Amino acid sequence: MSIVINTPNGNIGRPLVEKLLKAGRQVTLISRNPEKVADLVKQGAKLVQGSIDEKATLDAALQGAEALFWLSPPLARPDFITWAQDAGKQAAALVKAHGVKRVVVLSSVGAQTGPGTGPVSVLKPVEEAFKAAAPHVTSLRAGFFMENLLRDVQGIAHAGALYTATPPDKAFPMVAVADIASKAAEVLLDASWTGHRNLGVHGPKDLTYAEVATILTQSLGRPVKHVQVRVADLHSGMTNAGVPTWMADAFAEMYQALVDGRMDPAEPRSKDTTTPTTLAQFASTVLKPVVEQARPS
């Protein structure tokens, strides 16, 4: 019996697959591009070629499966909200049809709010669909990805500034994607939990943007300040940079939800939700090389 991973090419799915294979588990991958997962197949994973929104692909992947890891892909198409919800609901129906007992869903802080949270709006219906379909479901409600700071490289490199709509004194959880993959592997390899649960993945501590700026200043070796701007200014900045309007609209809705508190974690911080990688470690090892490369010569 295998564990099915629906996104084995991403920066969460790939390390998750590697951890499961290292633990000696059978893993089935869903991928449209066999060449992108050829190395994982060589390590022992089984490939089902196709898209996660295709019933035949999911049917083939879920045959004899013991568990499914489901990650809704990033915002990438104008009909994303409808498409991602429909894909998740179809997968949940097939989980029920195939008798798959365990599902781990990658979710987010703010998922409890539902509509009005941009890309995060997808997640509550997807969580609910899987909970209605399988007896044991864990929704990993992850905090703000540290990797999202890579979107701010130009501002950091050229202006020493981090532009957000979030007030500088509002604290929120920040987590490295490597730690999300580790938490997902931990949950998938643990057969002791039962029922339906939401589990936060919160990083080492909640941070304010004032604290983020201080940490980045120390880790990057150059001054970084936080500049609070209007959500409308962020929207204009995205469209002026060539981001499609539909995508800018979705992100702006999420940023407004952050400001309004609708993206605050529903799950309290605990030992189980706290993960090890600090922002200073991430900034020094991942962010700094990218910022250095982007700095004007």
CA–CA distances in Å: residue 192 to residues 18, 77, 146, 187, 267? 22, 38, 30, 9, 21
Residue type at 29? Answer: L
Mean pLDDT over all residues of the chain? 97
Place of tokens 């962010």: 287
Buried/exposed code over 165-183 (b: 16+ C-beta within 10 A; e: otherwise): bbebebebbbbbbbbbbbb
Are the beta carbons of 74 and 251 closer than 8 angstroms? no
Q: Measured between alpha carbons, how far is 30 from 51 in angstroms, rounded to an integer?
A: 7
Contact 24, 189 (CB under 8 A): no
Q: For the residues 171-183, what does the mean pLDDT come to?
A: 98
Residue 282, pLDDT above cutoff 70: yes
pLDDT, residue 30, reads: 98
Question: What are 60-72's pLDDT values in tens digits?
Answer: 999 999 999 999 9
- List the structure tokens of 184: 């997902």
Please give the CATH architecture assigned to the domain spanning 2-144+175-201: 3-Layer(aba) Sandwich (3.40)
Give, in order, the Cα–Cα distances in Å from 72 to each of 75, 80, 219, 283, 288: 9, 10, 32, 26, 29
Specify whether the CB–CB gap between 144 and 200 falls below 8 A. Answer: no
pLDDT at 1: 85
Q: Is the pLDDT of residue 297 over 70?
A: no
